[in-house]
Structure 1
């Protein structure tokens, strides 16, 4: 029985465009930005930001050193926001509708720059922040750990008091899906930019059918 659905943010809830963000950081002076940024897993100071070893101010300072110029919060945020290429309203509406029957959570490798935007009224044209669509947000830099490490999944399970076999985990990262599947989660790996709603509906419907047959 599935009683919880956990979604990734980038590549699932929102569409992402890594190349746009790389170009934005290059424009700030980080010429080798492409070596740090990955659609699924960052490296260097970008990873240290996502796993909480650096806060926003420390990241700006370190980024400024690499760029050879001061970098403000807003400049860094604008470059990070290059990752976000769209926030499809139909996905948010579907996620919100699931809360009638399921506990719905978010588990994201992300950073304070993107979260400042996402958790504000700027997230949607209707002025609704990311938080209102979910029962709980699990944010990597707050948890001091990133996917695909097993530790972050264990923290989620401990916080929810849940069993992995009762959770559907939806993520576009192959390594993240592999870890979750190995730990016993039910998984679905959509492709960035595609409409995954029918696929989630099918998985949930099949789970209900199996439960009814078992009665």
Structure 2
């Protein structure tokens, strides 16, 4: 395997802990139901994906969700329910990123939206007294790019935009679909499965603390 110089991280489920069922539960309390398909892995309405690529505004997103409910929830209630899935960023993961920066070029590639982005950036920046985005050479967010994983275009965009050699680049994500598409673009994929960054990276001869 060629030497890895660049590491591209997913955010939710890798650096930041998520609990999507919590948001589903909160939406149900607001009368917004059946938003997840039978497999539990995909939203039934395209507005969720459109919001992730900036195709609809926050106002349009919230109004669409309000129309899904018979209870007429407020904008604040909808936003709070939507943000309920966001948990925390364990300090040890942030420390891992800080240590990795000394030896590797690290990047972020996240499927997210403006409401979630504001919440997690405000919280992590306040808690750690620094800018989360500054942990990375560049942070790529789907709603700012207009493309989301697992579209192969987003991986090729990152490679070109940051002038990265795919063979020297490792992508770590908790979605096997995203990993498979990244590998089609020539990037090495690391399927994140146990919540421990160091353990996941060891098999690629990447040592975080030494």
Category of TM-score, reference length = shorter chain: 0.7 to 0.9
* Rounded Cα–Cα distance in structure 2 between residues aligned with 1:32 and 1:13: 28
Instruction: State the partner residue of 2:77.
Output: 75
1:18 paired residue among 17, 20, 41: 20
Instruction: State the partner residue of 2:127.
Output: 125
* Rounded Cα–Cα distance in structure 2 between residues aligned with 1:186 and 1:205: 13
Distance 1:195 1:144, change over 3 A: same
Q: How does 1:53-132 map to 2 (within 5 A)?
A: 53-68=55-70, 69-72=72-75, 74-123=76-125, 125-132=127-134
Instruction: State the partner residue of 2:150.
Output: 148
The normalised TM-score by structure 1 is 0.85
Which moves more between the two structures, 24-33 or 97-106? 24-33
Deviation at 1:15, TM superposition (A): 1.5
Deviation at 1:131, TM superposition (A): 1.2
* Rounded Cα–Cα distance in structure 2 between residues aligned with 1:124 and 1:168: 30
Indicate the SS of the match to 1:137.
strand
Distance 1:104 1:202, change over 3 A: same
Instruction: State the partner residue of 2:171.
Output: 169
Unaligned runs of 5+ in 2: none
Q: RMSD over aligned Cα, in angstroms?
A: 2.2
Instruction: State the partner residue of 1:213.
Output: none
Larger helix share, 1 or 2: 1
Instruction: Give the conservation status (yes or no) of the 8 Å contact 1:121–1:128.
Output: no
* Rounded Cα–Cα distance in structure 2 between residues aligned with 1:103 and 1:38: 35
Instruction: Give the conservation status (yes or no) of the 8 Å contact 2:16–2:88.
Output: yes
Instruction: Give the conservation status (yes or no) of the 8 Å contact 1:157–1:164.
Output: yes
Indicate the SS of the match to 1:125.
helix
* Rounded Cα–Cα distance in structure 2 between residues aligned with 1:79 and 1:55: 17
Unaligned runs of 5+ in 1: 207-215
Indicate the SS of the match to 1:90.
helix
Misfit runs of 4+, over 3 Å:
35-39, 121-124
Instruction: State the partner residue of 1:195.
Output: 196
The normalised TM-score by structure 2 is 0.87
Indicate the SS of the match to 1:187.
strand
Indicate the SS of the match to 1:104.
strand
